[in-house]
Amino acid sequence: MTDQPPERTTVRVEADVELCVLTWNLRSDARPALLVHGLASNSRLWLGVGDFLASAGHPVAAVDLRGHGHSSKPDAGYDFETIGADLLGVLDHFAWADRAPVIAGQSWGANVVLDFTAHHHGCAGGLVLVDGGTIDLSSRFSDWPTCLGALTPPDLRGVPFAEFERMVRSRHPDWPESGIVGTLANMEIQGDGTIRPWLSLEHHLQILRNLWEHRPYELYSKVTCPTTVIAAEDASNARWMPGKRQEVDAARSAIANCEVHWVPGDHDLHAQHPELVGDLIHKTPERQHSSSSKAFTAAPPTSDGHRMSSPSDEDRVS
């Protein structure tokens, strides 16, 4: 892992919209990596992955999408097309559009990068979907009001930061410090020591509505670059797993060059297992000449950094 912390810069994507971007190793001429966070998240959830990729020689950029983190918070533009245009602006800013970067997203951010890659052919040399990209809310909920009722976030405004930190650490005792720091950065600390989300509820629900209307299965056949799906085998959400497996299987079947890795862990796999996720991002563009789709069951690394053995590590499911 690199000892160099990321640098923070801003990229103007519209006259009144600037995105905050964390960068590593920009002088490298290796294949770039663009990292995109999930809903109500932020770029710092990618700290561990960014460190890993920079150590492997990649120039890396992790972006706070509009409305999130330290980026601008305009009233509109939370649809997939506009956010895709924002990402293109980031690639153009770093002159990466013609360098075939590997583009990774998590959760809603994975749906974002899937949509982007499907509509901007040739921009990505590899696509990585971290516990997302396959999210089809219309298949999980009977209608929009039901979806809205189930997925409207709790109101954390006014919670003391110290209490929030204790909650995060108690819920994720096995996470590295980079993942904890990234999660805490989802919140703005007020002058009185309480928190509020960087993403407003109004903008959160705009994004949720656009995700409800998103149909990822219509995009799979348009993806031509090597694709890796890293899906969480989340024991705490067992009731969602059958539907999630169906969504992931549909992607594996329809994307020409796709590998699926099931990893025991939490939804924020990039925060929990940054080296494993970073290694899969690093390797994804190497499959340029493969046209097969495979599924693996991966084991996360142990505390000493070595990967645990698993009877299914070598099993390939056609």
Structural domains in the chain, CATH included, are 7-152+200-297 (3.40.50.1820)
Residues whose CB is less than 8 angstroms from the CB of residue 244 and which lie 6 or more positions away in sequence, other chains included: 134, 231
Rounded to 10 degrees, the C-alpha dihedral 197/201/203/208 comes to 110
CB atoms within 10 A of CB 253: 11
CB 279 within 8 A of CB 259: no
**pTM of the full structure:** 0.91
Going from the C-alpha of 226 to that of each of 31, 114, 125, 212, the distances in angstroms are 14, 12, 7, 26
What are the φ/ψ torsions at residue 6 (nearest 5 degrees)? Answer: -70, 155
Confidence (pLDDT) at 69: 98
Confidence (pLDDT) at 235: 82
Confidence (pLDDT) at 239: 85
Residues whose CB is less than 8 angstroms from the CB of residue 263 and which lie 6 or more positions away in sequence, other chains included: 230, 231, 232, 233, 269, 273, 276, 298, 299, 300
Q: How far apart are CA 188 and CA 304, in angstroms?
A: 33
The residues with which 128 forms a beta bridge, in sequence order, are: 104, 228
Tokens 């699926």 identify what position?
260
* pLDDT in single tens digits along all 318 residues of the chain: 666 899 999 999 999 999 999 999 999 999 999 999 999 999 999 999 999 999 999 999 999 999 999 999 999 999 999 999 999 999 999 999 999 999 999 999 999 999 999 999 889 999 999 999 999 999 999 999 999 999 999 999 999 999 999 999 999 999 999 999 999 999 999 999 999 999 999 999 999 999 999 999 999 999 999 999 999 998 888 888 999 999 999 999 999 999 999 999 999 999 999 999 999 999 998 876 454 556 666 555 544 343 332 322 222 222
Residues whose CB is less than 8 angstroms from the CB of residue 276 and which lie 6 or more positions away in sequence, other chains included: 263, 269, 298, 300, 301, 307
Confidence (pLDDT) at 19: 98
Confidence (pLDDT) at 149: 97
